[in-house]
A and B are shown apart, each in its own frame.
Chain A
Amino acid sequence: MSTAFNDPIRAYIVREFLAGEDAEDLTDDFDLIESTVVNSLGLVRLISWISETYRIPVDDIPLEPAAYRTLADIRDFVGKAAPAAPATV
């Protein structure tokens, strides 16, 4: 399992959605949606953060909640996406 120290996506989820809680159960296949760790508002924030942090072109961002079900799912598409040219703003 990745730790927050070497996995920025896990670190983000722990910081933003599990602050103050035990993050030990957050394994790579832990269901973020089913467990309601990430609710509908959280999903919007998560997608927005991934899009901006990894500069993934909007056309390459999956818009189905299923793509964000687990840490492994998220890493999978982030790893495949080519970053867009950095915008000035």
Chain B
Amino acid sequence: MAAESAAEQATDTYGITAPYGDELNDDVTRWDRAAEFPHEKWKPLQRSGLFTLPFAPEYGGAGRTLTETMAALEGLGHTSRDAGLNFSASTQIVSVGIPLQAFGSAELRERYLPQVTSGQAITAHAITEASHGSDVMNIRTTAVREGDEYVINGGKLFITNAPVADLFLLYVRTGKPGAFGLSTFLAERSTPGLTIGEPLETMGLRTSPISEVTLKDVRLPVGNRLGSEGAGFLIMDYVMKREVLFSFAVNLGEMTHRLKRVVEHATTRQQFGSAIGKNQAVAHKIADMRIAVETARKWLYDTGRKVEQGKDASLDVAATKILVSEANQRTAQDAIQIFGARGYLTDTGIERELRNAAAGSIYSGTNEIQRNCIAALMGL
């Protein structure tokens, strides 16, 4: 039996994107080759209500919980073979909407959240810098207060959704070095001095555009700051936990779909007079894939519930991120081997899954940094 989703049984949000499968999966190979953001596929995602889930009804949201939102994103990963689009959709929910709802002023929430929950405004958060990738506490982009405004100078790199985004959440330094000198600001794309670079060519997730964002004398009103000055690290911590849970819930759905596909192939593909799944070498690989998928599921939802309950999940989030990203890479590699030459062909989409999985051990804090974090939490 192929893996069944616990989320599928537990919540009605899992299947909300399923009716849009045909639209989402139209010409995925061509879009991947073109490395373009598929604007026309954003519309079915808007119609599905995916972007409304974790937000309050007064802003057009559906008022669903964190784990219900994770289940919907898992469902998206299972339905849609466009992992780049899936990643951009997850970024849409977490990058601006989540911190805006939790930390934004009433004025900012009223002005911007309805655009985010409808998907009308595409969003991005700008954390990474050329000289500071995972070392986020040493961000160098500065915001200096001048009267009722802040003047921001610096630059951000590898910003997901930036080439198509309308709203940006900027993490910048307003004070002393280290965690307590960081602050967070909301900026519209049209803000003078905010320049978006050309999309960067990537190995995988090619339909999720990334680029540089340059900030030169960008003037933002004090009212565009989320939370108090210096609260940026608190907002980042809040957001990064949810980013890991959301984007890797998508990966869980993708892995579950991959496992079903592999099982189907192993039971129908005949070699030497029997299905290849009858060979232990193949069957054990598939058994290991199943273990990886179920382990990922347990960690994701256990951690999700912990975060939902306001418990300290620092170690759990780091472990979940490592575990799911590496399971995604390993199962994608195994799928190619089981499919043989067909897995190596571009048109079957199997090789694309390995390319897409490669980024998972890099974004949201590299797996090396996550391991450092776990070691530090253990007092090492």
Binding site for B on A (CB under 8 A): 12, 16, 40-41, 43-45, 47-49, 51-53, 55, 58-59, 61, 63-65, 87-89
B69 / chain A contacts, CB cutoff of 8 Å: 89
Chain A CB count within 10 A is highest, among B65, B69, B310, for B310
- Name the B residues within 8 Å of A61 (CB-CB): 228, 231, 234
CA distance A52 to B239 in the complex (A): 12
Q: Does B312 contact A (CB under 8 A)?
A: yes
Chain A residue nearest in CB terms to B56: A88
Given A40-B179, A89-B242, CB of A47 within 8 Å of CB of B312: no
* A49 touches which of B66, B178, B312 (Cβ 8 Å): B312
Given contacts A16-B312, A89-B101, contact A48 B227 (CB under 8 A): no
Give the docked Cα–Cα distance between A53 and B307 (Å): 10
Give the total of B residues in contact with A, Cβ under 8 Å: 35
15 contacts between A and B (CB under 8 A): A12-B312, A40-B178, A41-B377, A48-B312, A49-B311, A51-B234, A58-B103, A61-B228, A63-B234, A87-B101, A88-B54, A88-B63, A88-B65, A89-B66, A89-B98
Q: Contacts of A63 on B, CB cut-off 8 Å?
A: 180, 228, 230-231, 234
Query: Would B103 and A89 count as touching, CB distance under 8 A?
Result: no
Separation of A48 and B314 alpha carbons in the complex (Å):
10
Q: Compute the total of residue contacts between A and B using a CB distance below 8 Å.
A: 72
B376 within 8 A of A: yes
Q: Does B64 contact A (CB under 8 A)?
A: yes
Query: Is B228 a contact partner of A58 (Cβ separation < 8 A)?
Result: yes
Residue in B closest to A89 when the chains form the complex, CB atoms: B54
Question: Which residue on chain B has the smallest CB distance to residue A20?
Answer: B379
A86's nearest neighbour on chain B, judged by CB, is: B310
- Picked from A40, A48, A53, A89, the residue with its CB within 8 Å of the CB of B234 is A48
Q: Hey, what's the 0/1 contact readout for B62-88 against A, CB within 8 Å counting as 1?
A: 011110010000000000000000000
User: Nearest Cβ in chain A — how far from B53, in angstroms?
Assistant: 8
Q: Contact check, B376 vs A41: say whether CB atoms are below 8 A apart.
A: yes
Query: What residues of chain A lie closer than 8 Å to B308, measured between beta carbons?
Result: 89
Interface residues in B215-268 by Cβ distance below 8 A to A read 226-228, 230-231, 233-235, 237-238, 242
Most-contacted residue by chain B among A43, A55, A63 (CB, 10 A): A63
Q: Which of B88-114 contact A (CB under 8 A)?
A: 98, 101-103
Given contacts A43-B179, A63-B180, A89-B54, 7 further A-B contacts (CB under 8 A): A44-B234, A48-B234, A48-B238, A49-B310, A61-B228, A63-B230, A88-B65
Closest to A16 in B: B312
Residue among A16, A40, A52 making CB contact with B238, cutoff 8 Å = A52
B237:A48 contact, CB within 8 angstroms: yes
Write out the residue numbers on chain B whose beta carbons fall within 8 Å of the beta carbon of A45. 237, 312, 314
Instruction: Name A21's closest neighbour in chain B (CB-CB).
Output: B379
**Cβ-based interface call for B55 (8 A):** yes
A53, B376: Cα distance in complex, Å: 22
For residue B32, give the distance in angstroms from its CB to the closest CB of chain A. Answer: 31
Distance (whole angstroms) from the CB of A89 to the closest CB of chain B: 4
Contact between B65 and A89, CB atoms less than 8 A apart: yes
Instruction: Give bound CA distance, A55 to B102, whole Å.
Output: 10
Collect the chain A residues with CB atoms within 8 Å of residue B235's CB.
Answer: 58
Residue numbers in B under 8 Å from A41 (CB-CB)? 373, 376-377
| B117 to A: closest C-beta gap in Å | 12
Q: How far is the CA of A88 from the CA of B54 in the complex (A)?
A: 6
CA distance A58 to B376 in the complex (A): 26
CB-CB < 8 A to B61: which residues of A?
88
Q: How many Å lie between the Cα of A5 and that of B98 in the bound state?
A: 34
Give the most central of B64, B231, B242: most A CB within 10 Å.
B231
